[in-house]
Structure 1
Amino acid sequence: MPALRSRHPVRSVPGAGRLRDVRRTPAALASTATLMALSVAVAPAATAGESVDAALEWYDTTAATIAAAGAPTQSTNSRTWAISWLAAARALRAAPAGVNRRDYQDAALAGAVHTSLVALVPARAQELDAALRRTLERIPDGPAEERGVADGQRRARTVLASREGDGLDPASVNSPYPTPQPGPGIWQPTPPTYSPAVQAGNRAARPFLLERADQFRPGPPPALGSGRYRADLAEVRAYGSTDSTARTPRQTETATFWLGSSLTLYTGPLRVALARSHRPAAERATLVALFHVALVDTQIATSDTKYAYLRWRPVTAIRSADIDGDPATSPDPDWTPLHTTPAHPDYPSGHNTYSGAAEQILTALVGPRTAPFSLTSPTAPGVTRTYTDWRTLTQENVDARVWSGIHTRSADTVGVDLGRQVARHTLRHADRLFR
């Protein structure tokens, strides 16, 4: 590909230094979108004369950036999405008079997401510069382009500054957490690695819209020895073991399909919603922004609840819990879950708080159903599933964590409820993000 040429010198505008650098950078770079196999098919690149959807273009660039060089902590990556797309949504809320609206909005979106991502994932600056150049080469030089980029950059700097020191960096998220003294029901490190607890620092992070981390903290998990507790353990014991004879092949596939990062698994469904939306550009950017704002706050609320109750994982309970003489809760020291248990408490399930919040945002902003879409999973190669609504994804997540042997059903269902509550709060107070 030959180097891209500027048709006219770029005028001096606030924050345009990087724009000038980008326009002079050689363009022989692979598209960042090819660096990540998204959960749904990515639209092919436009040919000459075809219209390009800037929102999808920068959605794919964001996904590829995080996949290639993102943080090791999911909440940090959700923060990157939230900051980048909140800046874009703010920039798109109004276009100045006297300029081409579409050109201005494409430039503003690109300027906002590019500036945010370069600041948050600097290792990808070269690829991000190339992506910005590709967008700007489609836009005629002039006030719409220049003002759009400048406004997007300004919005990005404002959002970045507002989130500085929010405690969502990897070191803060995974701040050391002392292992509690052993006791019935109390979380302990789990086999096979017996690693110390992670993600405890999320509960001390600054939310986007929650007033405090415990704002929607649910009531405690089922009491040890209660009927609900025994039923939970009996189900996991029967269906969640590595050698279960009760679990069907389809249930095993479900557990494996939803095993990976929720952020990765929901990148595809959110892209489907964005691609099929015919709303104005600002509303489409707001969809992505609010989705991830809600998910950051949900992850903060999840860690608050987990570390408030410190409920042990099923593997610990099943191996050691002879609580009341009931055969369903007598110890089974050799019991092993289908999948390795993550290093944090059981209650609630983080996968399911994520699912509940994601479902609530998508349902509220694009409706509960959509035309069929196919979804794949990096943890289940070769498996493709088709969906027509968002709730089925949540229902499968609830079952999956039980069939993986790593959560009780109570932890899953309470998690869904918590995620939905946080998401509803996000939607009710979204106007605070745009003041």
Structure 2
Amino acid sequence: MSPSRTRPALVALGAAALLTASLAVPQASAADRTPTALAWYDATAETIATAGAPTQVTNSRTWAISWLAAARAVRSVPAGVDRGAYQEAALAGAVHRALVTLTPSRKEQLDATLKETLDAIPDGPAEARGVTAGERQADLVLASRQGDGLDPASVNAPYPVKPAAPGVWQPTPPAHAPAIQYGNRLAEPFLLRTQSQFRLGPPPALDSRRYAADLAEVRAYGAVDSTVRSAHQTGTATFWLGSSLTLYTEPLRVALSRTDQGIAGQARLVALFHVALVDTQIATSDSKYAYERWRPVTAIRTGGIDPDPDWTPLHTTPAHPDYPSGHTTYAGAAQTVLSALVGPRTAPFALTSPTAPGVTRTYTTWKQLSDENVDARVLSGIHTRSADEAGIALGTDVARYVLKNPGRLLAPR
């Protein structure tokens, strides 16, 4: 089977095909075998799709731990062993050990992938020492992240809602569910000095022109019964509705498959991408709960500008504050890492979305993904444009910081 034909299963993470996939590992010739970094990328994606946590940042943590261990393990090669064999074995050993530890229910499948990798590497000291190094780095990263507050219970720590007042977040219809992701702002970052290191300035004042313009835009374009939103715009909102982690798994794989930096560069790319995204999600919740800005549905229904108690957004509003948008902080960080490490442009690649079945969109720059995210959250009726643009800025700041300080992360322990 050609590696390229396995992509649709991983694009729609969590699809039934993954849940029922055979545990057998088909034999392949050396020419057809998926390169080691891509094979373990796919194994990580499949592991999270089938046995991941219910909280996005917890799954980002799994990616970050596994690939940070791999990046450390492949960085230094001992004298006297074959470099390529050692690095392949080290990457496999690191990702396998981390994933089995974090998702033990997938041990059988991960063991099969490890066997396939090692069967393709000549037996000898390079293979043995590589696996040992990878497992050691995984154990060290796992130990360093114990109790970091990114488990699902800690992520969704209880949040005391403030009394209703202009601008203050309140649970949103239809479920009026308790706030989620409050605990992210209390978690331990991978690299940021503090959770608030890049806290945004305040959102637009309620009596400002910018606020009025924001509200007018989302009222018109984000309503479920909007008469001005085009079919294409509705499609954009629906395409980007799902989890950012899911939607960016394929673009990152595209970048991984097209880089010419070798296995060390591939491991570094995935590690820095997900470290940046964990820290971005922590920083996002810090700003969200520092400002506690109400969502458009609350502002339009109960605010002081032409209140409309029947206004309903196109898509259901998530249960956390408006400012900034988490989707766009993710997009800003992802764009920054990918642009820095593989360049801002790439050959056309196709992307599908689990929230828009049957739809394929094609992109040639990472910025196009960010731009669509910004528009999508307004068109869904769940964020203001100020919240979306602030998200891009925050994600960019966090990712730039990670990219400027990789030595603190990647040096083998």
TM-score, L = length of structure 1:
0.89
Deviations 1:325-377 (A, max 9, x none): xxxx2110110000000000000000000000000000010110000000000
Which residue in the other structure is 2:390 paired with? 414
Residue 142 of structure 1: how far off its partner (Å): 1.3
2:325 maps to 1:349: yes
Partner amino acid, structure 2, of 1:37 = L
For residues 396 and 315 of structure 1, do their structure 2 counterparts lie closer, same or farther at Cα, with a shift above 3 Å needed? same
Matches within 5 A, 1:271-420: 271-322=253-304, 329-420=305-396
2:400 maps to 1:424: yes
Partner amino acid, structure 1, of 2:11 = L
2:124 maps to 1:142: yes
Residue 122 of structure 1: how far off its partner (Å): 1.3
Kindly, what percent of the aligned residue pairs are identical? Answer: 68
Which residue in the other structure is 2:29 paired with? 48
Instruction: Answer yes or no: is the 8 Å Cα contact 1:88–1:155 preserved in 2.
Output: yes
Partner amino acid, structure 2, of 1:47 = A
Query: Quick check: 226-235 or 100-109, which moved more?
Result: 100-109
Partner amino acid, structure 1, of 2:249 = T
Query: Quick check: 77-86 or 89-98, which moved more?
Result: 89-98
Instruction: Answer yes or no: is the 8 Å Cα contact 2:225–2:314 preserved in 1.
Output: yes
Residue 318 of structure 1: how far off its partner (Å): 0.4
Instruction: Answer yes or no: is the 8 Å Cα contact 2:63–2:274 preserved in 1.
Output: yes
Instruction: Answer yes or no: is the 8 Å Cα contact 2:11–2:351 preserved in 1.
Output: no
Instruction: Name the SS for the 1:374 alignment partner.
Output: strand
Matches within 5 A, 1:96-111: 96-111=78-93
Structure 2, unpaired ranges of 5+:
1-5, 19-24
For residues 45 and 278 of structure 1, do their structure 2 counterparts lie closer, same or farther at Cα, with a shift above 3 Å needed? farther
Which residue in the other structure is 1:156 paired with? 138
Residue 46 of structure 1: how far off its partner (Å): 7.8
Matches within 5 A, 1:189-268: 189-268=171-250
Q: Partners of 2:306 and 2:7 in 1: how far apart?
A: 51
Partner amino acid, structure 1, of 2:391 = G
Which residue in the other structure is 2:22 paired with? none
For residues 390 and 46 of structure 1, do their structure 2 counterparts lie closer, same or farther at Cα, with a shift above 3 Å needed? farther
2:11 maps to 1:38: yes
Instruction: Answer yes or no: is the 8 Å Cα contact 1:46–1:52 preserved in 2.
Output: no
Q: Partners of 1:367 and 1:49 in 2: how far apart?
A: 30
Q: Partners of 1:385 and 1:45 in 2: how far apart?
A: 31
Instruction: Answer yes or no: is the 8 Å Cα contact 1:39–1:268 preserved in 2.
Output: no
For residues 99 and 79 of structure 1, do their structure 2 counterparts lie closer, same or farther at Cα, with a shift above 3 Å needed? same
Instruction: Name the SS for the 1:385 alignment partner.
Output: strand
Residue 176 of structure 1: how far off its partner (Å): 0.9
Deviations 1:95-138 (A, max 9, x none): 22222211111111100000000111111111111111111111
Instruction: Answer yes or no: is the 8 Å Cα contact 1:36–1:63 preserved in 2.
Output: no
2:119 maps to 1:119: no
Residue 39 of structure 1: how far off its partner (Å): 5.8
Which residue in the other structure is 2:152 paired with? 170
Query: Quick check: 95-104 or 268-277, which moved more?
Result: 95-104
Instruction: Name the SS for the 1:382 alignment partner.
Output: coil
Deviations 1:161-185 (A, max 9, x none): 1111111111100011112111000
Residue 434 of structure 1: how far off its partner (Å): 2.5
Instruction: Name the SS for the 1:386 alignment partner.
Output: strand
Which residue in the other structure is 2:74 paired with? 92
Residue 34 of structure 1: how far off its partner (Å): 8.4
TM-score, L = length of structure 2:
0.93
For residues 45 and 340 of structure 1, do their structure 2 counterparts lie closer, same or farther at Cα, with a shift above 3 Å needed? farther
Residue 392 of structure 1: how far off its partner (Å): 0.6
Which residue in the other structure is 1:73 paired with? 55
Q: Partners of 1:310 and 1:301 in 2: how far apart?
A: 14
Q: Partners of 2:235 and 2:410 in 1: how far apart?
A: 42
Matches within 5 A, 1:179-194: 179-194=161-176
Q: Partners of 2:27 and 2:279 in 1: how far apart?
A: 36
Instruction: Answer yes or no: is the 8 Å Cα contact 1:39–1:375 preserved in 2.
Output: no
Deviations 1:188-219 (A, max 9, x none): 00001000000000000000111111111111
Deviations 1:137-168 (A, max 9, x none): 11121111111111100010011111111111
Instruction: Answer yes or no: is the 8 Å Cα contact 2:11–2:353 preserved in 1.
Output: no
Q: Partners of 1:310 and 1:290 in 2: how far apart?
A: 30
Instruction: Answer yes or no: is the 8 Å Cα contact 1:107–1:135 preserved in 2.
Output: yes
Deviations 1:12-49 (A, max 9, x none): xxxxxxxxxxxxxxxxxxxxx78943269x9x988323
Once superposed, what is the RMSD of the aligned Cα atoms?
1.6
Rg larger in 1 or in 2? 1
Instruction: Answer yes or no: is the 8 Å Cα contact 1:311–1:347 preserved in 2.
Output: yes
For residues 207 and 114 of structure 1, do their structure 2 counterparts lie closer, same or farther at Cα, with a shift above 3 Å needed? same
Q: Partners of 1:424 and 1:397 in 2: how far apart?
A: 20
Structure 1, unpaired ranges of 5+:
1-32, 323-328
Displaced runs of 4 or more, over 4 A = 33-36
Instruction: Answer yes or no: is the 8 Å Cα contact 1:35–1:68 preserved in 2.
Output: no
